């Protein structure tokens, strides 16, 4: 079995969007595992409409999203695992076919881009071609855009139940630290509707900081920040940030629109004049 798709759900009114996306894939070398947290009858009825496509189904109370995801991992038999949770979906019916048609992957984590939808606005979030420690300090790979070798969870452990929203972020840091291999797939893999618990920025930022204190030293943080700062008289005149993983620029402490092209940074309205040239791609 090449792939195990794991869907977790708890009373999600958009569960059929996910079900249809999985059932319509033009690729059939996968099993579909649904872990439900004891949803109401209406939700269960929607899921049952697709029972002929579901390989394994559990409906019982759990201790949160990562507990449910762990249950799915323990049931999975595929080489890779894809987490396509309730409400989200694959980018197209050909997504999995396009990923696996060459059948020559050996990397631990396959990842691509993700289409983020929030408040009826849609944007493609591009991920870098190389995953570095610096990128993971400022950004993250959306787990819907990842396909992860199942063996990693048995080598390095399941998702921690200590965090409500950031256990997948913690695992990416753990895998990167241990030399696991990442392969960028130049395609959009998933559509993620940003309206769940991970959309609560306050919780996300708090948990990320706790995790970063474990995986990054104070010297790491200083070196990352120093690369994108210009000082004058001890004051930060200009600084560039890369958060979740959107880029913005601070000029005299004020957020200013920027444009990045071929490693040159321009202020909006002054596109003829590059204000700063950076040595490496800000995404990496």
What span, in angstroms and rounded, lies between the C-alpha atoms of 194 and 82?
A: 18
Tell me which of 3.30.565.10, 3.20.20.70, 3.90.550.10, 3.90.1150.10 is the CATH number of domain 3-215: 3.90.550.10
What span, in angstroms and rounded, lies between the C-alpha atoms of 252 and 31?
A: 53
**Of 103, 105, 149, 110, nearest in space to 127 by CA:** 110
pLDDT in tens, the chain (284 residues): 899 999 999 999 999 999 999 999 999 999 999 999 999 999 999 999 999 999 999 999 999 999 999 999 999 999 999 999 999 999 999 999 999 998 878 999 999 999 999 888 899 998 989 999 988 988 889 999 999 999 999 999 999 999 999 999 999 999 999 999 999 999 999 999 987 555 567 888 899 999 999 999 988 887 776 555 545 455 544 555 443 334 444 444 444 444 444 444 444 444 444 444 444 443 43
For CATH 3.90.550.10, the residue range(s) in the chain are: 3-215
CA angle 262, 267, 272 (to 5 degrees): 65
Tell me whether strands 3-9 and 80-83 are parallel, antiparallel or unpaired.
parallel
Which residues contact residue 116 at a Cβ distance below 8 angstroms, ignoring those fewer than 6 apart? 122, 123, 124, 125, 142, 192, 194
Q: Is 33 left (phi over 0), alpha (psi -120 to 50) or beta?
A: beta
- The neighbour count for residue 142, using CB atoms within 10 Å, is 24
What is the pTM for the complete model shown? 0.81
Residue 124 tokens, joined: 């493609």
């Amino acid at each position: 079995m090449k792939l195990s798709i794991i869907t977790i759900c708890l009373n999600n009114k958009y569960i059929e969007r996910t079900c249809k996306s999985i059932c319509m894939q033009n690729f059939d070398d996968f099993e579909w595992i649904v872990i439900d947290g004891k949803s109401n009858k209406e939700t269960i009825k929607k899921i049952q409409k697709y029972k002929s496509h579901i390989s394994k189904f559990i409906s019982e109370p759990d201790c949160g999203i990562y507990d449910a995801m762990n249950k799915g991992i323990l049931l999975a038999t595929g080489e890779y695992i894809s987490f396509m949770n309730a409400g989200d979906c694959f980018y197209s019916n050909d997504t999995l076919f396009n990923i696996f048609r060459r059948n020559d992957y050996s990397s631990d984590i396959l990842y691509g881009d993700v289409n983020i939808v929030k408040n009826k606005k849609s944007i493609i979030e591009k991920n870098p071609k190389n995953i570095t420690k610096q990128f993971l300090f400022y950004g993250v790979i959306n787990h819907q855009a990842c396909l992860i070798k199942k063996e990693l969870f048995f080598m390095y452990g399941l998702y921690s139940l200590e965090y409500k929203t950031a256990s997948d972020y913690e695992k990416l840091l753990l895998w990167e630290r241990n030399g696991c291999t990442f392969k960028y797939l130049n395609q959009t893999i998933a559509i993620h509707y940003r309206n769940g618990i991970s959309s609560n920025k306050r919780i996300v930022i708090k948990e990320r900081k706790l995790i970063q204190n474990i995986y990054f030293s104070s010297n790491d943080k200083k070196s990352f920040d120093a690369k994108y700062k210009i000082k004058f008289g001890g004051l930060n005149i200009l600084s560039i940030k890369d958060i979740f993983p959107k880029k913005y620029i601070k000029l005299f402490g004020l957020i200013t629109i920027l444009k990045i092209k071929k490693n040159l940074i321009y202020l909006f309205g002054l596109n003829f004049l590059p204000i700063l040239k950076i040595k490496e791609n800000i995404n990496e």
